[in-house]
Structure 1
Amino acid sequence: MDTRLLGRSGFKVPVLGFGAGTFGGKGPLFSAWGDTGVAQAKRMIDLCLDAGVNLFDTADVYSDGASEEILGAALQGRRDAVILSTKTGLRLGEGPNDAGASRWRLLRAVDASLRRLRTDYIDLLQLHAFDALTPLEETLSTLDDLVRAGKVRYIGASNFAGWQLMKALSISQVHGWQRFVAHQAYYSLAGRDYEWELMPLGHDQGVGAVVWSPLAWGRLTGKLRRGEPLPGRSRLHDTAAVGPAIDEGRFYDIVDVLLEIAGETGRSVPQVAINWLLQRPTVSTVLIGARDEQQLIQNLGAVGWSLDAGQMARLDEVSRVDPPYPYYPYWRGQFSERAPVIADRGR
């Protein structure tokens, strides 16, 4: 398994990580994702480690903490062999302070995650969303304290807008605090909004993308075909309304090209979709999820080979969307011949 630096840090992560959102299965949303228990989690972790995938990502809100608990139990005896990533900031409790990124919340949340994960440190802690009510100085100084205390190694953000991420980086620089080295963001062939602002920012500021939902909320599995109904067991029956939106016509155009390239390469549609992401700028790691071992084995096959330049170009073209103002003039190269190079620049 190849590794890459996580943003502007010296920390190397595998190009594929495992997303443990399927662990636990509590609540209407996460039960639709999966209901993996400790025994199955151990088997899936074994498969990951055998393939060189040692990054495991979760969040305190996943199944009300059950995902962290199951991951922690399944990793007993091999903590030093893995990279643990978790997130906090979304509501977890009914109290007025049980959401957000205040000092009160962060200190309590990290201690709770450490207990559930059965560890004394978190390799990568990410804010699950931007907290507009808490001053960033309070949030970032607390994260710096957590790193200095040895409870956290590296910090990142998730689902931030460009201005939010840039403001946080600037404040950290001014005060000499730990800075975000990762941004966990949605990015897929069916959802390329990440490229408009967050990708150039990540390239300029050294923030590596930790990609979530590389298969577009389960749409790029190869099971959805033009003119056919959703498969009976598709989780989209329960989760489509809360996932990223996509134009149906454009989606099936993408699927058509994915099917063509899958036939040319002898690979599956998910493997082609993930391999495309691994060749995009600023991507440090792509998180793969799986409800069962067969899905996991399938997704692990996305590495060890590469799409050729022509196949990448076909996928780029069919999935391309012109961004809104003020991005589109730069994207089209109308203001400068150098402006849009990030879209095609290597890592």
Structure 2
Amino acid sequence: MQVSFACTDHNMKAPRNGDDRHGKQNATSPNSGSAARARFRTVALIARSLGSFTHRHHISLKESTAKLTGMKYRNLGKSGLRVSCLGLGTWVTFGGQISDEVAERLMTIAYESGVNLFDTAEVYSAGKAEIILGNIIKKKCWRRSSLVITTKLYWGGKAETERGLSRKHIIEGLKGSLQRLQLEYVDVVFANRPDNNTPMEEIVRAMTYVINQGMAMYWGTSRWTAMEIMEAYSVARQFNMIPPVCEQAEYHFFQRDKVEVQLPELYHKIGVGVVSWSPLACGIITGKYENGVPESSRASMKSYQWLKDKIVSEDGRKQQAKLKELAHIAEKLSCTLPQLAVAWCLRNEGVSSVLLGTSNPEQLTENLGAIQVLPKITSDVASDIDHILGNRPHSKRDVRS
């Protein structure tokens, strides 16, 4: 058994029984210091008799693991907010491809697996995703303090004033999101894509305002370039406002440059982290498009013609060939190809969390298993993956071994 004691001058000289006169006498008495040291030596001797007299050990703030679920937690960028390394996104699925019952089941599986980050946006299913997410949180009676809820602003409605990143839409749009979510605040509000029609100072001031008003805890960017993020940071510092803490960026086997080249410098210099999305490249990395586009897949939908065109293109066929080779690595590691893809994203040192998008519980459970695969991706395995992909950016990058 280990016992540690903290002994300060204040504790040594504190008056007894609330009598200030004793305190004054002790403070002026030449024997008070030696008496205090004697008391400390006595405490130390007792501690040694019980066990080791050691300093307290603290868990690293960079990453910690939940004992019950195995979920890993990281800081959101260099802020103090702790987020699960895997989060659940609601794009397409909530209010769209799946029923409310399935959505509740997905959130329950995620939450019970240690996921605390749930991401949505005002544009997802025209606001229905936020409504469903809020209804589930209310029904499950989860502690609000145990959740990290994020939403994104830009596309709010059809009117000219209901979209963009003007001060008007940031404030009104966030109020609308909070109403749909049935929450008093969100943990992070993202500016979804840069707005060339709005001055950067106006965007930063509006984000600072909603944070100061208690409508959000932090703000971040989504699909911004490194230069735009740096401009927002510079404006915030110039006018003593609040800078963004992270960027939402697409990151997977076939999309690497931004997260591995552009953003690491921002992470180390100004603390902006990454919440990555689409780790399976809209389902391309699952392997289901190996022999074409199945009728039941997302790429078969009219609104996803762009995805179908991408899959059947020459580059798409080359990607499928590379995925076959990567499947052999996954087999050697005793995991699935999607698990390998998600774990590979998690290996990047600047990635705070990877958002999972799934339409059924089986897929979610499988993808959550990527946490167990992460330690298996050694430097040699990573090199083999880079060799197959042939697209490693020519830049130094920090990774988790």
The question of a shared fold, defined as TM-score above 0.5 by the shorter chain, is answered with yes
**Cα distance between partner residues in 1 of 2:186 and 2:282:** 27
Q: Is the 8 A contact 1:158 1:183 kept in 2?
A: yes
Shift of the alpha carbon at 1:175? 1.4
Which residue is 2:297 aligned to?
A: 234
Match for 2:358: what amino acid? A
**Structure 2 residues without counterparts, runs of 5 or longer:** 1-70
Pairwise mapping of residues 40-59 of structure 1 onto structure 2 (< 5 A)? 40-59=102-121
Shift of the alpha carbon at 1:346? 4.8
Pairwise mapping of residues 56-135 of structure 1 onto structure 2 (< 5 A)? 56-76=118-138, 77-78=141-142, 79-90=144-155, 92-135=156-199
| Distance 1:253-1:193 versus aligned 2 partners, 3 A rule | farther
* Deviation by residue 1:18-39 (Cα, 9 ceiling, x = unmatched): 00114444xxxxx4xx2331x2
Shift of the alpha carbon at 1:73? 0.1
Match for 2:236: what amino acid? S
**Cα distance between partner residues in 1 of 2:151 and 2:126:** 13
Larger fraction in helix? 2
Pairwise mapping of residues 195-234 of structure 1 onto structure 2 (< 5 A)? 195-225=260-290, 228-234=291-297
Tell me, yes or no, if structure 1 residue 289 matches structure 2 residue 353: no
Shift of the alpha carbon at 1:187? 0.6
Match for 2:283: what amino acid? G
| Distance 1:22-1:80 versus aligned 2 partners, 3 A rule | farther
TM-score (ref. length: structure 2): 0.76
Q: Is the 8 A contact 1:72 1:118 kept in 2?
A: yes
* Deviation by residue 1:60-83 (Cα, 9 ceiling, x = unmatched): 000000000000000112133211
| Distance 1:243-1:131 versus aligned 2 partners, 3 A rule | farther
**Cα distance between partner residues in 1 of 2:157 and 2:300:** 27
Shift of the alpha carbon at 1:114? 0.5
**Structure 1 residues without counterparts, runs of 5 or longer:** 26-30, 324-330, 332-339
Larger radius of gyration: 2
Tell me the SS of whatever aligns to 2:286.
coil
Shift of the alpha carbon at 1:93? 1.7
Q: Is the 8 A contact 1:222 1:268 kept in 2?
A: no
- Structure 1 stretches (4+) deviating beyond 3 angstroms? 22-25, 242-246, 344-347
Which residue is 1:334 aligned to?
A: none
Shift of the alpha carbon at 1:245? 5.5
Report the RMSD for the aligned CA atoms in angstroms.
2.0
**Cα distance between partner residues in 2 of 1:243 and 1:158:** 25
Residue among 72, 79, 96 paired with 1:2: 72
Q: Is the 8 A contact 1:36 1:291 kept in 2?
A: no
Q: Is the 8 A contact 2:340 2:373 kept in 1?
A: no
TM-score (ref. length: structure 1): 0.87
Shift of the alpha carbon at 1:206? 1.4
Tell me the SS of whatever aligns to 1:85.
strand
Q: Report how many residues are paired.
A: 320
Which residue is 1:188 aligned to?
A: 252
